[in-house]
Amino acid sequence: MQIMKAKYLVAAVALLALACSLASAYDPSPLQDFCVAVKDPAPALFVNGKFCKDPKLASANDFFFPGLNVPRDTSNPLGSNVTAVNVDNLAGLNTLGISLARIDFAPYGLNPPHTHPRGTEFIIVLEGTLYVGFVTSNGDGNRLFTKMLYPGDVFVFPIGLIHFQLNVGKTNAVAFAGLSSQNPGVITIANVVFGSDPKINPDVLTKAFQVDKKLVEYLQKQFWWNNN
């Protein structure tokens, strides 16, 4: 029974992602049935997306990604692990305007505040209880929207807005996410602010956060974990 429920939930994720794409796809619309991605044919060339394989050479494997039923390792400082399925590892997604992710959480694990610059995201919880939320832009007053999610619940994070997910339970949690881009990107706020390469001048961050410079320098020396 549990397996059947999981199958229905995953199917719902796929359908909702497709609906999101059709309603307002952020990526350019395809001009053919599909455009299976291939590596750039020449280092001097760059396109907004991926080059296309000859359609006659495409196979079923170009549209296939196995293993999202397998739990991921969450034994890291964040207690979470994101398995993204996008155009980089599923070439058949090229030009289709959608992607997918599995998010595993250890007890009290966190998918930290981050943003997807090129895609709206929605998640559906399969196991556990998640506290989720997003913050609006400066012009909207940086309002915080939060919700407690249980198995079967769905929540949407608008494109570009900072959002997070926290497992508030004593057991593992699992969620699936659909995104309205073949390559939505991810910017983890703490990582980019304190873990950039090279480092941001501490004077900038001291002024921005209105804290002691020694605290900024301490934070910049930490290892900022990437759970993607």
Annotated binding site for oxalate, which residues?
Answer: 111, 116, 121
Determine the straight-line distance between the first and last CA of the chain, rounded to whole angstroms.
31
Dmax (CA) for the chain in angstroms is 61
Binding residues: 111, 114, 116, 121, 163
What's the DSSP call for residue 43?
T
C-alpha–C-alpha distance, residues 50 and 46, integer Å: 8
The answer to whether 220 and 209 are in contact (CB under 8 A) is no
CA 91 remoteness from chain centre: 17
C-alpha–C-alpha distance, residues 175 and 129, integer Å: 10
Partners of 179 in beta bridges: 99, 121
Binding residues for Mn(2+): 114, 116, 121, 163
